[in-house]
Structure 1
Amino acid sequence: MRLRLTAALVVALVAATAASVMFGVRDIGVADAFAALGGARETTDQAAAAVRLPRTVLALVAGAALATAGTTMQAVTRNPLADPGIFGVLSGASLAVVCGIAFLGVSDSRTTMLLAVLGAAVAAVFVYAVGSLGRGGATPLKLALAGAATTAAASSLVSAVVLPRAQAMDQFRFWQIGGVGGAQWADLRLAAVPLVFGAVLCWACARGMNALALGDDVASGLGERVWRTRLVSSAGAVVLCGVATALTGPIGFVGLVVPHVIRLLSGTDHRWLLPLSALAGALLLTVTDTVGRVVARPDEIAVGILTPLIGAPFFIWIVRRQKGRAL
């Protein structure tokens, strides 16, 4: 079953990648799309396809990163509602980037990525610390509430910083929506190393995540170092979230929807769940971006607008499902 699912995702991902290059404001034939992949720029269609290539690659990379981060957060917290957006991680990254733009005049991609990772890390630690207070420790409900409160507070601070500063507002407003339209090869090359590093940290802890699902006491009895697994995997998730957010802006719900769908299809073994979620996340964001370009021609709808339309009903379904289990 898992091998068939992997093959299906790979085939769908190849088709979605081709569609992302071919369809948009101007439709491009298959021959010109493949010629552009080979470096040809002789016709208008080939030039248009070449412009879409970095956008397509960014959608693939960001989708995979956010889905991997969401899967990791759900495993580390044993919380089915865990998601970089719901837990305030994306908002923390956004606030750090806004402060860098407004107060430090940051404009280069390297510093933006660093600020986004730091902001994501601070938000993640804060949410987990607040959610751990009181009796029962870090329960799913308390973590979700702490994340929602952190997201609201960070969003308010972002508005307070940006609104009095017209220049920062102009630079930030399109980024804040969340999209892959501004992709550049230079930024993708710069992000490659930290993204690979974050993914390796998460995937290296896959076996430990399986142990965490049994509970901390059982995991410790099996020889798993619980805090090391949590720390390393969380660091990987934060790096993935921060770098992806720096490249695309905050895109929510990918890390919530994808792990649940893949878990239903492949089971709970994170050695399979993590890579399959990465493939499915890349597929989701690429398809969503292509749909946003096609349905609104000659304009486009950013993926940061479309993903909540998909994720919000799914989030309600998860909450109702968990409530039913509790009863």
Structure 2
Amino acid sequence: MLIAQEGRPDGTGHRPGQPLTPGHRPVRRTALALTVALPALAVLSLVIGTGHSSAADAWHFLTGDPAARADAPLRLAVLDVRLPRTLAAVFVGVCLGVSGCLLQAATRNPLAETGLLGVNSGAAFAVVLGLTFFGATSPTALMGWALAGGLAASAVVLLLAASGRTAGSPLRLVLTGTAIGATFHGLTSYVLLGTRSTFDTYRYWTIGSLAGVESTDLLPLTAPAAVGLLLAFGCARPLSALGLGDDSARSLGHHPGRIRLAVAAAVSLLVGCAVAVAGPIAFLGLLAPYAARAVAGPRLTAQLALSALAAAAVMLLADILARVVIRPWETPVSVLLAFVGGPLLVWIARSSRLSTAGASA
């Protein structure tokens, strides 16, 4: 029998020097498959579009064909239109996948969704304010308002959830987020009813799409997203300890309330960045963590990595399909995800595995 060497767990349940058990192999195989699939989907995203440029022409451009490189419209389509939205799809997918996985683990609810902390509603309200009272009509301006509103809403939720004797508890976070979200939703409806001129722009934003994203739009969001990712993976080990129960976590030197508040801060940053880029995207932050958990089991670090890869791949695939389903028009990517996510959510809710599908928290 093989004996494990001395060492500490690496956050996935595996100790350095210990041979991989059969439970670890599916994680590596799945991660490798997703790592291979992502570049392939990215190439497809670069060659497929709704314009007049064919996939063959775009492929020739990518492979360095001189004639294709000299084609100005083709260069515009590939580098200025498709490349930014490809990067945006990966960016949004990673943010929503990691944040959904964290939220489900922290709340001990496999059906928890990234909108629970009121980020989506706060972003929507801020966009309406920007459109109505400050003349914010450019995509960059709307992204700024969405990020500010999402972070402000989550800050209010965190402040309220951090007070009282049950500070930072899962129930308190969810209830506070739901209440703040409902409040912002009502305020958004009130402003829209009084100023219908902003409704068309808001309606396009709230549907959720990657159309019109530019490379410069992503640059200001990389820093807060990076902070959110670092915070998310830093919370993996203490959050795994929290899965043993609050009392056990305290005996190991952790503070359950602080852990959950740190998770909420990471989720707020990641979801705020994702909403700022693409608008509210439903289901992705719910389904990707569920699939990752089915492969990785209770190992939270592995769940986070697989969820990020899976969500990025699904987002890329959905964005590609959005361009070709009703060509030459484009379907909002959130609509496609809703068509897939709705039936899957019903199946998950009826599944006998739901009671055992909880995260490691």
Do Structure 1 and Structure 2 share a fold, with TM-score over 0.5?
A: yes
Report the Cα offset of residue 104 of structure 1.
Answer: 3.9
* Structure 1 residue runs without a partner (length 5+): none
Q: In the aligned structure 2, how far is the partner of 1:66 from the partner of 1:324?
A: 21
Matching of residues 122-141 of structure 1 within 5 Å: 122=155, 124-125=157-158, 138-139=170-171
Greater CA deviation, 205-214 or 253-262? 205-214
Matching of residues 4-43 of structure 1 within 5 Å: 4-25=29-50, 26=52, 27-29=54-56, 30-35=59-64, 40=69, 42-43=71-72
Matching of residues 198-277 of structure 1 within 5 Å: 198-277=228-307
Report the TM-score, using the length of structure 2 for normalisation: 0.78
Q: Which amino acid aligns with 2:124?
A: S
Instruction: Give the alignment partner of residue 121 of structure 1, picking from 154, 168, 173.
Output: 154
**Are residues 47 and 152 of structure 1, via their aligned partners in 2, closer, same or farther at CA, if it must alter by over 3 Å?**
same
**Are residues 221 and 322 of structure 1, via their aligned partners in 2, closer, same or farther at CA, if it must alter by over 3 Å?**
farther
| Pairs aligned (count) | 319
Q: Residue 66 in 1 paired to residue 96 in 2?
A: yes
Q: In the aligned structure 1, how far is the partner of 2:354 from the partner of 2:287?
A: 19
Secondary structure of 1:85 counterpart: helix
Matching of residues 149-188 of structure 1 within 5 Å: 151=181, 153-188=183-218
Report the Cα offset of residue 151 of structure 1.
Answer: 4.8
Q: In the aligned structure 2, how far is the partner of 1:76 from the partner of 1:295?
A: 37
Secondary structure of 2:194 counterpart: coil
Q: In the aligned structure 2, how far is the partner of 1:146 from the partner of 1:124?
A: 6
Report the Cα offset of residue 216 of structure 1.
Answer: 1.2
Q: Residue 287 in 1 paired to residue 317 in 2?
A: yes
* Structure 2 residue runs without a partner (length 5+): 1-24, 357-361
Report the TM-score, using the length of structure 1 for normalisation: 0.86
Q: Percent identity?
A: 35
Greater CA deviation, 222-231 or 3-12? 222-231
**Are residues 324 and 190 of structure 1, via their aligned partners in 2, closer, same or farther at CA, if it must alter by over 3 Å?**
closer
Secondary structure of 2:92 counterpart: helix
Instruction: Give the alignment partner of residue 78 of structure 1, picking from 108, 111, 114.
Output: 108
Q: In the aligned structure 2, how far is the partner of 1:63 from the partner of 1:123?
A: 25
**Are residues 34 and 268 of structure 1, via their aligned partners in 2, closer, same or farther at CA, if it must alter by over 3 Å?**
farther
Contact 1:177–1:305 (CA under 8 A) maintained in structure 2: yes
Q: In the aligned structure 2, how far is the partner of 1:92 from the partner of 1:41?
A: 45
Secondary structure of 2:84 counterpart: helix
Q: In the aligned structure 2, how far is the partner of 1:294 from the partner of 1:24?
A: 7
1:48 is matched with 77
Q: Which amino acid aligns with 1:234?
A: A
Q: In the aligned structure 1, how far is the partner of 2:171 from the partner of 2:129?
A: 31
Q: Which amino acid aligns with 1:116?
A: G
Deviations 1:94-141 (A, max 9, x none): 1233223323444554742542332440574489689x999xx7459x
RMSD value over aligned CA atoms? 3.0
